[in-house]
C-alpha cells in the first residue's frame, strides 16, 4: 500500500466528516428558527 491509498482514505474520511457536520449544521439552524 502506497501513500496514495492512505491519502484517498484520509480524503474520504474528511469528506464524510464534513458532510456529517453540514447536516448537523442544517438541522440545528432549522431548530433555532423554529424556536
Binding site for another protein (CB under 8 A): 3-4, 6-7, 10-11, 14-15, 17-18, 21-22, 24-26, 28-29, 31-32, 35
Angle made by CA atoms 32, 14, 1, in degrees to the nearest 5:
165
d(CA 29, CA 32): 5
Q: Find cell 458532510 and name the residue.
A: 19
Amino acid at each position: 500500500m502506497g501513500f496514495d491509498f492512505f491519502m484517498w482514505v484520509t480524503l474520504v474520511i474528511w469528506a464524510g466528516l464534513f458532510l456529517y457536520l453540514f447536516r448537523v449544521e442544517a438541522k440545528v439552524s432549522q431548530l433555532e428558527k423554529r424556536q
